[in-house]
Amino acid sequence: MFDSLKISDLTEKQNTILRKGSNTRPTLWVVEEDGIRAVVKDFSTNGFLFRNIAGRFLVWRESKAYRRLKGLKGIPALYRVVDGLALVMEEISGRNVENIERDTRLPNEFFDDLEALVQRVHERGIAHCDLKRAPNTILGRDGSPHVIDWGASISDREFRFFPINIIYRRFLLDDYMAIIKLKLRHCPEAVSSEDMARYNHRSRAERLIRDIRNRLRELLQKIA
Ligand SMILES: Nc1ncnc2c1ncn2[C@@H]1O[C@H](COP(=O)(O)OP(=O)(O)OP(=O)(O)O)[C@@H](O)[C@H]1O
Ligand SMILES: [Mg+2]
């Protein structure tokens, strides 16, 4: 699908822009072929260095995750990668959940489904690592959750050995913490006391790990 799409076809004349790119962010396009719509996450519009170092790396990381998650309901299908610079994926119709509480309250079932989805992702050996960013979760038109943006995800294979396997487990937990965070905003009464305790638990060691991780993230973001 979208086999003949070229980077040079990604123009405002031919397609709709979903989100304009910036120095460090890709452009998001909606493309259409034979009545099928796809979203293209395109790093070709970034500056030379970012495009060829961070861009290619992020596209490679994200496509790797999509291949491993292939066929999971709630994860968009990856149609193809164009020139190592752009991901062409299934368009999820709906809206992302950022600030969605201003308009609607997500029901408990949404969270049950999201938890089940994240569990299936973890069973495939992938941790998302950026679920706390609400724009990465989409409420589909059918009311079901979808998760996008796998550029920061990590796999169990890469984090197999001690001590980094501990970090991997921490990221798995973090994915669940992100769900609890969103759930607290929409149906706090449905958050179990166990989850609440886990969420509030901030041991000194954990805070230290979080600190180091955040600093690493900031550093990576700066490099990117
Ligand atoms: N497959 C898709 N179907 C529908 N909408 C999408 C899809 N992929 C991306 N989007 C929309 O584009 C936005 C940005 O996508 P994505 O998170 O992958 O890019 P990003 O550069 O990581 O952005 P951010 O830094 O805001 O997280 C999403 O919040 C979503 O609204
Ligand atoms: Mg994102």
Task: Specify the 3-state DSSP secondary structure of 137.
Answer: strand
Ligand 1 within 6 A of CB of 28: yes
> Could you say which of 61, 90, 119 is where a domain stops?
90
pTM of the model: 0.91
Do residues 190 and 141 both lie within one domain? yes
Ligand 1 within 6 A of CB of 61: no
In this prediction, residue 205 has a pLDDT band, given cuts at 50, 70 and 90, of low
C-alpha of 150 from chain center: 4
Domain that includes residue 56, residue range: 7-90
Using CA atoms, how far residue 88 sits from 16, 77, 80, 113, 138, in Å, is 14, 9, 5, 25, 17
Ligand 1 within 6 A of CB of 26: yes
- What CATH number is given to the structural domain containing 113? 1.10.510.10
Do residues 21 and 60 both lie within one domain? yes
Count the neighbouring beta carbons within 10 Å of the beta carbon of residue 22.
Answer: 11
Least confident of 61-70, 153-162, 176-185, 203-212: 203-212
**Ligand 1 atom 28: residue of nearest CA:** 135
Instruction: Report the nearest atom of ligand 1 relative to the CA of 151.
Output: 22
> Could you say which of 39, 60, 90 is where a domain stops?
90
Encode pLDDT of 8-54 as tens digits.
999 999 999 999 999 999 999 999 999 999 999 999 999 999 999 99
**Ligand 1 atom 1: residue of nearest CA:** 91
Least confident of 84-93, 105-114, 152-161, 212-221: 212-221
In a domain, 75, yes or no: yes
In a domain, 2, yes or no: no
Number of domains making up the chain? 2
**Of the candidates 6, 87, 15, 86, which has an alpha carbon nearest to the alpha carbon of residue 45?**
86
Distance CA 152, CA 111 (A): 22
Distance CA 167, CA 130 (A): 14
